[in-house]
Chains A and B, each alone.
Chain A
Amino acid sequence: MTLAELAAAKGLASDAVLADQGLDDAERAALLAGMRERLREMRASIDRGLASDAPSRTGMVGWNAKGLWQADDLLQTPLLKRVQAYAMAVNEENARMGRIVAAPTAGSAGTVPGALLGVGDHLGIDDERLVAPLVLAAGIGAIISKTMFIAGSTGGCQAEIGSSAAMAAAAVTELLGGDANASVHAAAMALMNTIGLVCDPVGGYVEVPCVSRNAFFAVHAVSSAQLALAGLTSVIPPDEVVQAMASVGRLLPPELRETGEGGIAATPTGRRIALEMAR
């Protein structure tokens, strides 16, 4: 299924994703049970992450989620704070070698739960209603992965966080009543505005900038859902946006694809930290 076909579906996009799987009743039940289990694991990782300030393996991160969660909300934007804190909670758990759900990767694992559970909790929505949007998120990721490998080492960070933001944007759009067309365009707008992002983790560790990046792109996904729910669409057809991201991924030099040899990783401080960690 292409994004265009998904966008043209009547009714909810998640129903179209499920129908496209061609599952019998037992397989469908197993898939939904698996999604519920992943939702529980996501919530458990958020809870652990918000409560912990234990340092990561390198000591670069570990207290960001808890620190933000406990800080005063001076902007008086509880949704913003919640989404950011949830996303970082997951990625700090990840950096501590805790249990998380890759969505679609571990480095981008905070975006979908940050946006989806963040919005759900903000609005007091029951977790059971998040299952279908999570199926849609997976469907969007599966379609993107037919065009490009979802890995920083092949496509840069745009492939990972761009995909997770697109998935999350579609999920939040459906959760708030958006139809299939709105959900797919939310994904496309999130993706279009992530193109070009490089993978430059300091020392090669999934910590800096990965932890804060998940906070930023969980918010990015919610922004995209907001635009789509208001009827805004991507001028460039969603499938063409994915093609554009894949082509930019191929143009990125190896230094900017998870080798820790370019960008933020190659700053004097980034290099110094990498050397210290290697010892």
Chain B
Amino acid sequence: MSLLDVIGPVMVGPSSSHTAGACRLALLARHALARPPREARFDLHGSFAKTAQGHGTDLALVAGVLGFPPDDPRIRSAFAIGAEAGLRTTFATADLGDVHPNSVRITLTADDGATTRLTGSSLGGGIVRVFALDGFHIEFGGGSPTLLVRHRDTPGVIARVARVIADDEINIATLYSARQRRGGEAMMSVEIDRPLSEPASAYLEHLPSVLWLRHLPEVLSATSDGAHVAAATAEAPA
């Protein structure tokens, strides 16, 4: 964990886990959809369900979906701004199973029918962890640029993706991969130390086994003035 995550983030109150963390999870979902959402559904679990309104979790989630970082004063008026932008929102309570008490499942739908379903937890101090995307169990924390690769489960795809990242001289921090079934569709999340170059990204996108590719920026240092301070990787306690 970076020292600027301990003394930080600079954020709109009142709770680093329930406000800033919620905003970051929604921001990651927004980047995973990679287009403006028309509908957002939030299934709140545990403490998120119990104390959502008191901590402004609901406002922060909508703000994140609108692309606002955790220190953005517009979080306070996120409902009005969302409604003006034509964003439809639904909040529900859900039991997401044996997960961290501050967890949420975010389902976004765009005008073209594209959807993203992201499930993650806010671990404290604004640190977040995503553990499922579109039904695949993959993990990332938003502390590094992250590649999401939806692909067909064929031999060599993971090696191919890793090779392209290596040729770009980028280090891989974490890599998670999951598939629906043998030979079905699969998903990979790759946290990398800096964003992938344009040509490498274009090459990956055109591989026959790759269905789509998404670039998630590092969100732990995202601020409303666009300034990005030292990148950080969230680490769970040992």
Contact = CB atoms under 8 A, between A and B. Distances in A.
A105 B13 CA distance: 10
Interface string B1-36: 111101111111111110110000000000000000
A148 interface: yes
A27 B230 contact: yes
Contact of A97 (B7, B9, B76, B126): B76
Interface stretch (B48-56, B143-151, B163-171): B48-56
Contacts of B76: 97
A138 B56 contact: no
A277 B10 contact: no
B83 interface: no
A105 B54 contact: no
A48 to B, nearest CB: 12
Interface string A237-279: 0000000000000000010011110000000000000000110
A102 B125 contact: yes
Nearest to B3: A138
A139 to B, nearest CB: 6
Contacts of B101: 153-154, 254, 257-259
A99 B73 contact: yes
A38 B13 contact: no
B159 interface: no
A94 B14 contact: yes
Interface stretch (A76-84, A184-192, A201-209, A212-220): A201-209
A95 interface: yes
A16 B76 CA distance: 40
Contacts of A102: 7-9, 11, 16, 20, 125-126
Contact of B16 (A41, A105, A138, A146): A105
Most buried by B among A34, A142, A159, A254: A34
A103 B20 CA distance: 13
B211 interface: no
A57 B237 CA distance: 33
Contacts of A106: 11, 13-16, 19-20
A277 B15 CA distance: 17
Interface string A85-129: 000000001111111111111110100100000000000000000
A41 B47 contact: no
B125 A150 contact: yes
Given A30-B230, A58-B54, A35 B7 contact: yes
Interface of B: 1-4, 6-17, 19-20, 47, 50-51, 53-56, 59, 71, 73, 75-76, 100-102, 123-126, 229-230, 235, 237-238
Given A30-B230, A34-B4, A100-B11, 18 more contacts: A37-B10, A94-B13, A97-B12, A99-B11, A99-B12, A104-B7, A105-B16, A138-B4, A139-B6, A142-B6, A146-B235, A147-B237, A151-B123, A153-B100, A203-B51, A206-B15, A277-B54, A278-B53
19 contacts: A34-B229, A94-B13, A97-B19, A101-B7, A102-B8, A104-B6, A104-B7, A105-B124, A105-B126, A106-B14, A107-B14, A134-B7, A141-B6, A147-B237, A149-B123, A154-B100, A254-B101, A258-B47, A260-B50
By Cβ-Cβ distance, the 5 closest A-B pairs, closest first, are A151-B124, A204-B51, A94-B13, A138-B3, A141-B6
